Amino acid sequence: MGDPSTASIVSTPPATMPTEAGSGAPTNAGLPESARRDQPRGLLGDAWRDLRRKPLFWISAAFIVVFVLMAAFPSLFTSGDPVNGSLSRSRMEPSAHAWFGYDVQGRDVYARTIYGARASIVVALLS
């Protein structure tokens, strides 16, 4: 153990001495600009910072927005009737009028898919 009389005394210059609480001075005033930007964030802030830099996240988010819009406003994406069909169109191939074709009962499969997305979205949100 050392002799206390030989210990060097370190003094803080007056410009960097801590201020009184509530004096209104910012707590990071003496920090460089890079240290001010790198303030600690929460878990959500870190996740958002990492995700927003990845293009796959933005592509996935765009698909999710499109699917939610389809489920919320199905009439914007199809003019076909998902319930009523005509047996004369039974099992017709895909065409410009019916992108996915017609089922056995002559209903538009694309329209049924768009209108059915609403139930899937609701189940996903509730679960």
Query: If you write DSSP's letter for every residue of 84-111 in order, what string do you get?
Result: ---GGGTTPPP-SS-TT-B-TTS-BHHH
Who wins on pLDDT, 3 or 127? 127
In this predicted structure, what is the pLDDT of residue 7?
Answer: 58
Task: Give the single-character DSSP code of 8.
Answer: P
With CA atoms as reference, report the closest residue to 81 among 108, 54, 61.
Answer: 108
pLDDT of residue 40: 73
pLDDT at 41: 79
Residue 21 phi, psi dihedral angles, 5° rounding: -65, 135
pLDDT tens digits along 57-97: 999 999 999 999 999 999 999 998 899 999 999 999 999 98
Contact 104, 88 (CB under 8 A): no
Residues 46, 37: Cα–Cα separation, whole Å? 13
